[in-house]
Amino acid sequence: MAKILDGKLLASKIKTDLKTRIEKEKISCCLAVILVGGNPASRIYVNGKKNDCAEIGIKSREFELPSKTTESELLALVEALNADDNVDGILVQLPLPAHIDQEAIINAISPSKDVDAFHPINVGKIMTGNYTFLPCTPAGIIELLIENDVQIAGKECVVVGRSNIVGKPAAMLLLQQNATVTIAHSHTRNLAEVCRRADILIAAVGKAELITADMVKKGAVIIDVGVNRLPNGQLVGDVAYPEVSKIASAISPVPGGVGPMTRAILMKNTLQASTYNRK
C-alpha cells in the first residue's frame, strides 16, 4: 500500500510554527475575507479560514455581502481595504455571482495584499521565480512533497488540469524544482498514456475518480487536488483512491490531503504580507 501524504498533520505543524512566531515576535496581523452571496460551500471554506486565523493568532475580518451586491460596490470595498493599514491580506472568496466580473475584482486587490496570489503581477512573479506570495494550493502541494522526502528534481511530472488557480502555477513551481513537466487537459490525446509516464502525477480537474489504476505507473507519487461529491454523498477526489493506492508509492487522500495544506499556506501568506506591508 502507498504511503499516505497526510496534509492534515503537516498543516497542523505549519500552523503551530506560525502561532509560535506570532507570539514570540508579537506580530499584529489581519486577514480580510469577502464573501458575496450565500454559497454553502463558500461559507464552509470561509468558516475554516476564520478558525485557522483564531487558532494561530491572526485577526480576521469578514465582510458577508448579499448576492445582489453590484460590481461597483464590491470594488469600493476592495479599495477601502487596500487603503486600510490595519489589513494585511485580502481574500475574495470565489466563485462570485455571475453579474460580477471576477477578473476585475482580482485585479483590483493590491498585489501586496493579494494573499491568494491571483493578481497578474503576482502571477508574473511566479513565472520568473521572484515572488512575494505563492498560490495556496500549488505551494501546499510542493510543501507536501518536500516534507515527505519526495524527490522532485529530475522527475517526470504530469499535471492533469490547466486552471489558473492550480494547474498552471503548480506546473511552474514543479519546473522551479527542476522537474520535467507536462500539463494535460481536456484536449490531450491518449491521456492514460501521458499519465503513465509520470513519476509524480497531480490530478486537478474536478472530475470524480478520473484517474484510475491503469493510468498510473507503478511506484508513482499521486497528488489528488479534486474534491467531488458522489450522488450517495461520499466525498472523493479526482483519483480512484482504493485502486490507485495499491500501486502508487505515495498518495494524498481526499479529504485530509491538499485541502488542509491550502489553508495553512494562506495563513503563511498572510503573515508574510504583514511582514512585507509593515516594513
DSSP string, 223-239: EE---EE-TTS-EE-SB
Q: Are residues 144 and 185 in the same domain?
A: yes
Report the candidate in 72, 64, 150 with the shortest Cα–Cα distance to residue 105.
72
Mean pLDDT confidence for 19-43 = 93
The overall average pLDDT reported for the chain is: 95
Mean pLDDT confidence for 47-70 = 96
In-domain check, residue 68: yes
DSSP alpha helix (H) spans, 109-238: 120-128, 136-147, 167-176, 191-195
Q: Is the pLDDT reported for residue 63 higher than 90?
A: yes
Q: In terms of C-beta density within 10 A (0-12 exposed, 13-18 middle, 19 or more buried), how is residue 61 classed?
A: middle
Report the candidate in 270, 247, 219, 239 with the shortest Cα–Cα distance to residue 33.
270
Provide the domain count of the chain: 2
Q: Is the pLDDT reported for residue 66 higher than 80?
A: yes
Task: State the pLDDT at residue 30.
Answer: 97
Residue of 49, 155, 168, 268 marked catalytic: 49
Task: State the pLDDT at residue 277.
Answer: 73
- Structural element, H or E, at residue 48: helix 40-56
Task: State the pLDDT at residue 75.
Answer: 98
Q: Is the pLDDT reported for residue 38 higher than 90?
A: no
- Confidence band (pLDDT; 50, 70, 90) for 279? low
Residue of 6, 52, 88, 116 marked catalytic: 116
* Cβ proximity of 201 and 195 under 8 Å: yes
Task: State the pLDDT at residue 42.
Answer: 86
Q: Are residues 157 and 221 in the same domain?
A: yes
- Note if 17 is an active site residue: no
Task: State the pLDDT at residue 241.
Answer: 97
The residue segments making up the domain with residue 171 are: 136-258
Residue type present at position 178? N
The three cell numbers of residue 274 are: 504583514
Q: Are residues 154 and 252 in the same domain?
A: yes
pLDDT digits (tens, 9 = 90+) for 89-136: 999 999 999 999 999 999 999 999 999 999 999 999 999 989 989 999
Mean pLDDT confidence for 178-184 = 98
Mean pLDDT confidence for 40-68 = 93
Q: Is the pLDDT reported for residue 222 higher than 90?
A: yes
Q: In terms of C-beta density within 10 A (0-12 exposed, 13-18 middle, 19 or more buried), how is residue 231 classed?
A: exposed
pLDDT digits (tens, 9 = 90+) for 154-172: 999 999 999 999 999 999 9
Q: What is the CATH number of the domain that holds 218?
A: 3.40.50.720
Domain finish residue from 64, 94, 111: 111
For 10-20, b/e burial (b = at least 16 CB within 10 A) is bbeebbeebee
Task: State the pLDDT at residue 275.
Answer: 85
Residue of 6, 15, 93, 114 marked catalytic: 93
Q: Is the pLDDT reported for residue 248 higher than 70?
A: yes
Q: Are residues 181 and 238 in the same domain?
A: yes
Domain finish residue from 111, 128, 158: 111
